[in-house]
Amino acid sequence: MKCIVIGDIFIDEEIMERALIERYGDNCCIKKFHFGTNDRQQMRTIVKKIEEFEKVPLPDGIFSEIHDVDIIMTHLCPVTESMIDNAKKLKYILSNRGGVENIAVDYAKSKNIKVINNPEHNANAVAEYTIGLILNEIRNISRSDFSLRKNIWRENYPNSQNIKELRDLTIGIIGFGTIGNLVVEKLVALNCNVLIYDYNNISKFNDKYSFCNLEELLKSSDVVTLHARSNEVILNKKALSYLNNDAYIINTARSNLIDNSALYDILKHKKIKGAALDVFDVEPLELDNKFLELDNITLTNHRAGDTLDSYIKSPSELLMKL
């Protein structure tokens, strides 16, 4: 059996190779390739292009090795229609990503090639980070730290008159996939009341939690956190207007899910209590980004899924699905 592994700065080809050797031993001939650069900022730009379905350069020499391959394992590198056409024996495309935006999925299926992805690989990391951002924003952890570093013992914060504990909150979850489900489980364990808006209608298969429409969720929630894998704007200006004055917005998913101009306006005019964002329309964040002017928002640089476990365990987890 011949396998091609295409690593990158986040999950390198050596980790993929070790997982295949552990699974197949000497029965697997492995060819290794590296995709993109070893600069994280440049790679995030490449990833954004892939998610917007733009073409990006493939590893040199890959077409000379792909003609007799049985398995392609990748993380960020695209597997295109032309690659599939050249891989006459290809049976499996294994993606260490949560999504398959970098894979020509429909074309692969038309050739009877099975595509398997790994939405669990960084799901727990993102879920944990989401809980952290909720606590950080409500309890003013970063603001307090920042003030102390400037030799200021700060007592007044944007929400000083209404600082609640998690157990007193209703938290609205937008998107009930792998990550959304984990966030819900962790919040329920912390005695939070949870509402879910399931834009993919998974709710009809689940009677364990409370589901509602988007308007009801926004009007009823103290905190709204986004976990939708969508290219659509879910929280537009009208939707944001449903939020109550003490509400918070958390986004560890995708920047495009929110009309960020409208979000800035309601934060600036204190129509909601606060927000925490880990994703942005332009990354790295530009120095003139208006969110940087505000005291009632926490900003982090796309850190939610970035843990050692989420990378090194993914190839082995993926192979268990075969």
Average pLDDT over residues 208-235: 95
Which tops the pLDDT comparison, 210 or 60?
60
Give catalytic status of residue 283 as yes or no.
yes
Cα 59 from Cα 96, distance rounded (Å): 17
User: Looking at residue 206, what is its pLDDT?
Assistant: 65
Do residues 89 and 144 share a domain? no
User: Looking at residue 208, what is its pLDDT?
Assistant: 82
User: Looking at residue 52, what is its pLDDT?
Assistant: 82
Task: Give the contacts of 60 (CB within 8 A, at least 6 positions apart).
Answer: none
Give catalytic status of residue 23 as yes or no.
no
Print the domain residue range for 20: 2-119+308-319
Average pLDDT over residues 54-63: 95
Do residues 158 and 218 share a domain? yes
Q: How many domains does the chain have?
A: 2
Task: Check if the beta carbon of residue 202 is closer than 8 Å to that of residue 178.
Answer: no
- Strand, helix or coil for residue 190: coil
- pLDDT tier, 205 (very low <50, low <70, confident <90, very high otherwise): low
Residues in the chain: 322
Do residues 287 and 144 share a domain? yes
Do residues 231 and 261 share a domain? yes
40, 128, 283, 303: which one is catalytic? 283
143, 254, 286, 303: which one is catalytic? 254
Give catalytic status of residue 227 as yes or no.
no
Chain centre distance of CA 201: 20
Do residues 173 and 194 share a domain? yes
Do residues 154 and 103 share a domain? no
Q: Would you report the helix, strand and coil content of the chain in percent, each value rounded to 5? A: 40, 15, 45
Cα 6 from Cα 20, distance rounded (Å): 13
Cα 71 from Cα 1, distance rounded (Å): 8
**pTM reported for the whole predicted model:** 0.89
Tokens 């929280």 — which residue?
Answer: 235
